[in-house]
Structure 1
Amino acid sequence: MPVSIAVASAAAAGLVAQLVDGALGMGFGTVAAAMLTGIGLAPVVAAAALASASLVSGVMAAAAHTRFGNVHWPTAIRLAAAGAVGGFAGAWALASLAGLDGATPVASAALIAVGAVLAWRGYHGRVPLGPARTGFTLPAGLVGGFAGAVSGGWGPVTVPVLLAVSRLEPRRAVGSAAVGQTSAAAAALLGFWIFAPQSLAVGMPLAEGLALGGAVAAPFAAWLTGRIPPAKLTATIGMLAVALHLRALVAGLALPWPLVAAAYLALAAVWAVALTGPRKRPAPELPEQRAERIEAGA
């Protein structure tokens, strides 16, 4: 494939992926990693290019989320600190260890369960809000940073966990994760520069294309996050987490494509149901309310 066409394709992929990622907190890394490895790049080269693109698009997304009030800073700062450690460690591990994979069946299954819980909450309109809990952010950022450096998995790890236990508004969970991602991507990029500098030179043209598309989409995606009703945003994030981690879970099983397609069609149907929410039945009329209604009609 000519370089110009590959870069243009990367820009288009970055634009679409960032629209999803900026609004829902996940998707950019997974889509970009699949594209880069799909055209034959070595995992370390694809990861280095992804870290470069994620840093640029992440800065734009973080600025936009801050502008629209989507960031809870105590959570974002803790995520950023832990994500930097995890991102640097992930870059070192990918450059130094053969056969490393960012996802494990156990982790993917656990995060599928978290996504299913979020979809259930969104379906029933149960979005727990209250004083923010930040104690869990350090392990979430550490694991998310490592997964982000290895396979682009920052969002699918951190955002479902934030929504599950932080009590933050969904839009602020997404925005806080976007801020944390910039630190994780910067640390991963530093790690690749130290441990695998040749990978940056090889993947840089595609990284520039991804970054350009992501930077263009980031402001609109951040604006969109605040316009989606919290319950529907929670349900959508939950279903997207299930879809992304299901992909990682079945990648090594060599399932026939009709079965995989049927699974994703079923997920799409469940997502559509989750967006509608349960049918609300009218509350039973109390005797005094009925008397007041009759009297008013008289």
Structure 2
Amino acid sequence: MFIGHALFSYIGLDPLLYGLADVWGNMDSTFLWMLAAGFFAQLVDGALGMGYGVISTSVLLTAGLNPAAISGSIHTAEMFSSGASGYSHYKFGNVNKKLFKHMLLPGVAGAILGALLLSWLGEAEAWFIRPLLSVYTLFLGIRILVNAFRKAQKPKKVKHVGLLAWAGGFLDSFGGGGWGPLVTSTLISKGRSPKYVIGSVSVTEFFVTLSSAVTFFIMLGLSHIQAIAGLIVGGLLAAPLAARLVGKLPVKKVFIGVGVIVILSSLRILWSVLAKW
């Protein structure tokens, strides 16, 4: 409200409208593709607790971006969408505070370490990181697909939640995605309530992505503005809808769809890399 008041008071309506029209006129199809990818990725992630990074990474790898730039762009955009998603889950009562506290600090530490490592390797070793990340997203796609056919289990005590969160944060930063598929699927596989797992993981994800985005910004600066803007707008539009749909979507069918999309995208990238060799 304060930002809106300042903009309209000190800049005026007409300059804002002309400025937005100029920005829209200079945008290419990248923005629209990223908007659609951000909307779909956040819709799936907010409703199932996984998928944002994996789907976005697959799209940006296909577009040929540098691995470090990909992860930096995704986490900068995801910082906004995960914040909206986390708030929505908290508002609808989907958060287990005890689980959130156990995941917070380890997840943040893993995210910072993963971002530092990828920033150091991203440019010099991009030739092998790109196919390596494709293999990683292929593994995550298969894991998501397997989860679709896994039978529900009785609740079990989850051990080493902090270590799980650390690994999820590290792989999420280094691979551009993986927090949800690793942490959410592991906790749900132990028989935990999907509603509270997804809500708690989504709230923690905001702090994980914030830590990762700040680290990438310090190390690399900010680039690929149109891709980031598209992901942000799409994610913000989908976040409240996804939080409302949690537990109501046909989980098995959505898991199958997301898993197939990620697998096909990863195979396409690997095929293109092998063809060059």
Query: What TM-score comes out, normalization by structure 2 length?
Result: 0.74
Equivalent residue, structure 2, for 1:65: 89
**RMSD between aligned residues:** 3.0
Could you tell me which of 50, 53, 60 is aligned with 1:26? Answer: 50
Q: State whether structure 2 residue 140 is matched by structure 1 residue 116.
A: no
Larger radius of gyration: 1
Query: What TM-score comes out, normalization by structure 1 length?
Result: 0.70
Quick check: 2:58–2:262 contact (8 Å CA) kept in 1? no
Compared with structure 1, are the counterparts of its residues 106 and 50 closer, same or farther at alpha carbon in structure 2 (3 Å cutoff)? closer
Compared with structure 1, are the counterparts of its residues 42 and 117 closer, same or farther at alpha carbon in structure 2 (3 Å cutoff)? closer
Q: Which moved more, 1:176-185 or 1:112-121?
A: 112-121
Take 1:220 and 1:127, find their aligned partners in 2: how far apart are those partners?
28
Deviation at 1:146, TM superposition (A): 1.4
Q: State whether structure 2 residue 178 is matched by structure 1 residue 153.
A: yes
Equivalent residue, structure 2, for 1:215: 236
Letter of the aligned partner of 2:68 in structure 1? V
Equivalent residue, structure 2, for 1:162: 187
Compared with structure 1, are the counterparts of its residues 114 and 29 closer, same or farther at alpha carbon in structure 2 (3 Å cutoff)? closer
Letter of the aligned partner of 1:216 in structure 2? L
Q: State whether structure 2 residue 71 is matched by structure 1 residue 47.
A: yes
Q: State whether structure 2 residue 202 is matched by structure 1 residue 178.
A: yes
Take 2:227 and 2:263, find their aligned partners in 1: how far apart are those partners?
27
Compared with structure 1, are the counterparts of its residues 136 and 164 closer, same or farther at alpha carbon in structure 2 (3 Å cutoff)? farther
Aligned residue pairs, count? 241
Q: State whether structure 2 residue 250 is matched by structure 1 residue 226.
A: no
Give the unaligned 5+ runs of structure 2: 1-25, 273-277
Identical amino acids, percent of aligned pairs: 25
Take 1:27 and 1:111, find their aligned partners in 2: how far apart are those partners?
9
Deviation at 1:240, TM superposition (A): 6.1
Higher relative contact order (CA 8 A, sep 6+): 2
Equivalent residue, structure 1, for 2:154: 128
Could you tell me which of 20, 30, 37 is aligned with 1:13? Answer: 37
The C-alpha deviation readout for 1:147-186, integer Å capped at 9, x for no partner, is 2112222211111111112x32112111111112111111
Could you tell me which of 68, 86, 92 is aligned with 2:116? Answer: 92
Could you tell me which of 163, 167, 173 is aligned with 1:143? Answer: 167
Take 2:135 and 2:150, find their aligned partners in 1: how far apart are those partners?
22
Take 1:185 and 1:39, find their aligned partners in 2: how far apart are those partners?
22
Letter of the aligned partner of 1:155 in structure 2? G
Deviation at 1:205, TM superposition (A): 2.8
Take 1:224 and 1:27, find their aligned partners in 2: how far apart are those partners?
15
Letter of the aligned partner of 1:13 in structure 2? A
Q: Map of 1:287-298 to 2, 5 A cutoff?
A: none
Letter of the aligned partner of 2:73 in structure 1? A
Take 2:60 and 2:218, find their aligned partners in 1: how far apart are those partners?
21
The C-alpha deviation readout for 1:31-90, integer Å capped at 9, x for no partner, is 212222322321111111101111100000001111112111221222222211111111
For the residue of structure 1 that corresponds to 2:64, the secondary structure is coil
Take 1:241 and 1:162, find their aligned partners in 2: how far apart are those partners?
19
Quick check: 2:171–2:179 contact (8 Å CA) kept in 1? yes
Letter of the aligned partner of 2:92 in structure 1? F
Take 1:251 and 1:100, find their aligned partners in 2: how far apart are those partners?
16
Take 1:208 and 1:216, find their aligned partners in 2: how far apart are those partners?
12
